[in-house]
Chains A and B, each alone.
Chain A
Amino acid sequence: MSSSLTDRECVERCLDGRPEAYRHLVSRYQGPLLSYLVGRLGDPHQAEEAAQEAFVRAYFALRKLKKPDSFFAWLAGIAGRVMQEQYRARRRQAKLAGRVAAHRSAIGEAEEVELGKSVAALPDVYREVILMRYYAGLSCAELAGRLGVPIGTVTKRLSRAYALLRKSLLPRETRSEHKVQP
């Protein structure tokens, strides 16, 4: 299924009036984006809804994309905003329906969600490398090419991102361990 077109070529074709190229971007990043959103939301259905909306919005905002090689990181940013909007809308509906507040799903406390939230909370530079390395499955060399930086910079950013992730994951996990203990 992989296409020979690069992200940049796909974006340029779309902007050049050939919207079919967008199919390649969708097929390339639908899995990674969904994984990222499931990691943040915990619910695959809600995540899929948000991912679709993010792709649609991204299509109409392609002209604003400054670095087409970082399409996925940019898309993930849009998806994050879509997710927050949908979360607020659901909470509003829940209030209207008489419930006190939207419940956090049981899965919301799951490990994956913690990880997803930690990734989302990373500063842009570090989130970008994590997303592109693990969710989009690029190698360090490819990442360096996309970002236009030396490979050493990529490993440094990854290293810093790991440190931040561990730092943000650690207190929550120790807290939850304390709760479990009687």
Chain B
Amino acid sequence: MKCEECRERLVAHIEGLLDGAAADQLGDHLRDCPPCQAELAELMQLRSRLRGAARHQPAASFQADVINGIMRKQARPIRRITTLARRRRVAAAIIAAALLGASAWAAHLAYGTYKQYLQKRRTRTYRVEPATTQVVKIRNSKGEVVRKIEVTHPPSTVLVHDSHPDDKARQARARMEEAVLKAAIAGRTYKFIEPVFPPNEARQFAYELTSPNGVTLRRHFYFRLEGIASWDQYLKRFKKFHVEEMPRRQKEIARLVSQKRGRFLRTRNIVVHFCTDLAADGKKLEVRQDTRNGRLIARIRPLGSNPHQEGFTSHEMGWQDHLQAIEDGLLKLTQKQVRTFYIYEVTLRDGSTHHYAGDAPAHAEERNRGSADRVD
């Protein structure tokens, strides 16, 4: 072996990537060649210097400081947003003009695909009505209007999340729909029907769209707001929202549940752990552990809130990541409670059955003991 060849292979040798024969060959050469030995020694020295340089560990509060920094930056004054919004509106107007002029074909493509989608998957409805002013009605859990807001600027971000993120075709459709929604918003041809706060109580969110080629569509969304913990934040960050579709099956279950058409099955005790590590952020992490299978379900809500009125949906703040954080030991569970849930079963039109946890049934104990099969 020549020195040149040896030096080419030195890194692979150091990293232990050479197979038996090649390693032996290199070893033989190194034994007899002092310059190559010196080269190897220098490389090893450099490697140990590099290893030695990568030894620093930050303070314990480093991660919390970074998260705080992000939150502070997110909460910068609205003035800048307003300026940005103004610029964005100008940009949106230009884009909308371009879209209206040149995207009839694209819109046709989107809606054509959408029609196929309707036939294959589920019914989605769009309604289109030109609108220039928005009046947003905020409803509480009983459906009463508690506040009306007049919104002068359209939302700037629309995200459509399909329920099966793995399905690329559906993702592509979602992107197209998102583009159509953005175009409609940029052209101010939309109207909010009924956004509801708090987000986990949102029953329905309807868009009305005018497409460039005059197609009339209405769409209902199940929606949630991101990172909104109070009324003030809601009003300030009204423009940033997240739209998530409520699956048809879930709607049917919700309807059956509201009509109390479930069959009471049994009670289940759930151990609830609480984590107060997020208290500094004004939130509370509640983690349930099923006593039967040990499965964890996390839920985030503002401190001091009533979970039935102001709570956040379980996936609102990335609960899976919180679970991961608990497993990683980044979050500690500090309190514990045992709660009783009443499990019901509903049968959907397609014959499938689903379980849900509801309120205690009248004479719960009797039913639980005697006639568990009785249909409500």
Contacts and interface: CB of A to CB of B under 8 A. Distances in A.
Contact of B10 (A16, A116, A135, A159): A159
Nearest to A60: B73
B329 interface: yes
A18 to B, nearest CB: 4
B54 A135 contact: yes
A165 B42 CA distance: 11
A96 interface: no
Contact of A27 (B49, B52, B63): B63
Contacts of A65: none
B328 A3 contact: yes
A9 B330 CA distance: 19
Contacts of B1: none
B58 to A, nearest CB: 5
A100 B31 CA distance: 56
With a 10 A CB-CB cut-off, give which of A32, A140, A156 has the most chain B CB atoms: A140
Contacts of B5: none
Contacts of B242: 17
Contact of A56 (B42, B47, B69, B226): B69
Interface stretch (A46-54, A86-94, A101-109, A174-182): A46-54
Interface residues of B, number: 45
Interface stretch (B128-136, B176-184, B318-326): B318-326
A44 B55 CA distance: 12
A137 to B, nearest CB: 7
Interface of B: 8, 10-12, 15, 17, 42-43, 46-47, 49-59, 62-63, 65-67, 69-70, 73, 159, 161, 226-227, 242, 315, 317-318, 320-322, 324-325, 328-330
Which 3 residue pairs of A and B lie closest in terms of their CB atoms, listed nearest first? Answer: A20-B321, A20-B318, A18-B318
Interface of A: 1-5, 13, 16-24, 26-27, 30-32, 34-36, 38-39, 44, 47-48, 51-53, 55-56, 59-60, 111-112, 115-116, 119, 130, 134-135, 137, 139-140, 151-152, 155-156, 158-159, 162, 165-166, 169
7 contacts: A18-B318, A31-B58, A35-B55, A51-B58, A52-B65, A56-B70, A59-B70
Given A112-B52, A159-B10, 14 more contacts: A13-B321, A17-B159, A18-B317, A20-B317, A20-B322, A20-B325, A30-B57, A48-B58, A52-B69, A55-B69, A130-B50, A140-B15, A158-B11, A159-B8
